[in-house]
Amino acid sequence: LTATSAPDVTASNSELRTFQDCQRRWYLGYHLGLAIKPEDDRPVGDAKLGTRVHLALELWYGHGLDPLAALRAQYDRARVGRTNDQDLTRLGAEQDLALAMVEGYQDWVAETGADDGLEVTAVEDELLVPSGVTGITFRAKLDQRLLRRHDGARLFLDHKTVGSFEHSTTLLHMDAQMRFYSMLDRLLAARDPAHPRVDGGLWNMLRRSKRTARATPPFYRRDEVRYNQQELRSTWRKAVLIARRIQAAKIELAAGVDHHDVVPPTPSRDCLWKCDFVRVCPLFDDGSDVGGAVLALYTQRDPYAYYQGDAELIRADLQAA
């Protein structure tokens, strides 16, 4: 490959962020498509809880399905094939927490009228959006879109589980995901004048709390974010820049350049909780039989398979019930 035959890049916000955060993690997860074997994957954790609560609320808002049943179905699936008592105990404890959070959220919505006048107009759109730069396409599974009747605002709806509201709300406006979605929406609107342009995003935040008598409220919060034209333009420039770097890395890797010289690791103390490759990462650098370790611990898959995956199965199960 040469620079004149650069491979096309079709990247999500998550892939762009991974590349920016640690190029080795991108290389292993996206370029090679490695993923921990399901039986070795951690069954619980903040990220897993967040994904499960997110899906439960997505099915509630988007499809009118019972979010508590959706949680139970997800935890039942997570138990399949697991025999380790510790894993099963952790799954049970996390399920109790998730149920308490979502049940309380439903109560909060009913008591406060937070959803009054909100109408879901689109659910989980999967999009491929040309960036405007040759060879670079952005992809996203856009969250639900709402119409707020009293002011006619069109908003993305997304759900976040948080440890506390303090840091989450400070960083909310900078959250890359909602900006990326809004930027894609503007690209779509530029291509199609009939596209119903979104004005901003609505974040539902649920605190990771069982709301026991000793816990201090609030447990739920909803914030709106909007972006001006400059912010969306900056988001586009950054996304294109990182996509170009991915493109350049792909060219070098395809030409046979050693990954050590193309996509170096960026270790930090966060590796422990955020990276599925933390067990094998040092082996790439110390002369170990890293190939054997990778074969033992990982499987290969389409890194974008999650776009369909479990969510569809759970939805089908609940709709059939």
Contact residues toward ligand SF4 (CB under 6 A) are 22, 24-25, 265-267, 271, 275, 277-278, 281
d(C-alpha 274, C-alpha 318), whole Å:
31
d(C-alpha 144, C-alpha 201), whole Å:
10
Bridge partners, 221 (sequence order)? 205
Tokens 């649920």 belong to which residue?
Answer: 206
* Helix residue spans in the chain (DSSP H): 13-21, 23-26, 46-63, 67-79, 85-112, 165-172, 176-191, 229-254, 271-274, 290-297, 309-320
Between helix 176-191 and helix 229-254 the angle, nearest 10°, is: 100
In the complex, the smallest distance separating the C-beta of residue 304 from ligand SF4, rounded to whole angstroms, is 19
Residue nearer to ligand SF4 on the CB measure, 91 or 262? 262
Residue nearer to ligand SF4 on the CB measure, 24 or 315? 24
- The string of DSSP letters for 116-141 reads TTEEEEE--EEEEEE-SSTTEEEEEE
Residue nearer to ligand SF4 on the CB measure, 42 or 197? 42
In the complex, the smallest distance separating the C-beta of residue 296 from ligand SF4, rounded to whole angstroms, is 17
In the complex, the smallest distance separating the C-beta of residue 195 from ligand SF4, rounded to whole angstroms, is 37
In the complex, the smallest distance separating the C-beta of residue 46 from ligand SF4, rounded to whole angstroms, is 17
Residue nearer to ligand SF4 on the CB measure, 21 or 231? 21
In the complex, the smallest distance separating the C-beta of residue 257 from ligand SF4, rounded to whole angstroms, is 18
In the complex, the smallest distance separating the C-beta of residue 82 from ligand SF4, rounded to whole angstroms, is 25
In the complex, the smallest distance separating the C-beta of residue 30 from ligand SF4, rounded to whole angstroms, is 12
Residue nearer to ligand SF4 on the CB measure, 62 or 267? 267
CA 312 centroid distance within chain: 16
Residue nearer to ligand SF4 on the CB measure, 46 or 312? 46
d(C-alpha 98, C-alpha 93), whole Å:
9
Residue nearer to ligand SF4 on the CB measure, 25 or 221? 25
Residue nearer to ligand SF4 on the CB measure, 104 or 265? 265
d(C-alpha 122, C-alpha 155), whole Å:
10
Q: In what order do the strands lie in the sheet with 136-142?
A: 9-12, 136-142, 125-130
CA-closest candidate to residue 138, choices 235, 205, 222, 4: 235
In the complex, the smallest distance separating the C-beta of residue 281 from ligand SF4, rounded to whole angstroms, is 3
